[in-house]
Structure 1
């Protein structure tokens, strides 16, 4: 399972962040690793650093499955870590529904 982490200009995209995101996704998506070929992660700050307000860190996950259409899930949260974890759990539910219908998990 290859994981690619992308960030916008308002989210720090250093190697440490990428490794944390990869570790979180590998742990949460582990039971689907045989079906997943690639995970694209898009991290963004919806309001940027100049605004305050409701949760604005966004994680969009796009999972590519062998021989199937991509599946996506997203989460808004107070922190990037919370957004990644939330999106990953939403992805698990989406994969359970999609692969469960096919008898694939």
Structure 2
């Protein structure tokens, strides 16, 4: 499973942060790893340098083998919380998606 990080100009996407969250994402999506080809993480600050409540955004897009991509977005007051929240949402969406596919 390939994980790619994309940041806007207001978010510093250092290698340590990417490594840490790649491990978290890999662990969270472990049971789906044979069905996922790529995970794209898009990070941004919607208010740029101004302060705002829940202005950090994380969009996670998962490319599934042989299926259309799926995506979730989460807003929080820190990048870390935004990534964790989006990861949790995606894990739930993946579970639901694959349970529906099994039912058919």
The whole-number CA distance in structure 1 between the counterparts of 2:23 and 2:60 is 14
Deviations 1:61-87 (A, max 9, x none): 000000000010110011111111100
Which contiguous aligned blocks of 4+ residues in structure 1 show a shift greater than 4 angstroms? none
Please give the root-mean-square deviation of Cα atoms over the aligned residues, in Å: 1.2
CA distance in structure 2 between the aligned counterparts of 1:67 and 1:46, rounded to whole angstroms = 33
Is residue 76 from structure 1 mapped to residue 75 from structure 2 by the alignment?
yes
The answer for unaligned runs of 5 or more in structure 2 is none
Give TM-score scaled by structure 1 length: 0.93
Deviations 1:37-72 (A, max 9, x none): 1000000011112x1221111100000000000010
Instruction: Count matched residues.
Output: 103
Q: Is there any run of 5+ residues in structure 1 with no aligned partner, and where?
A: none
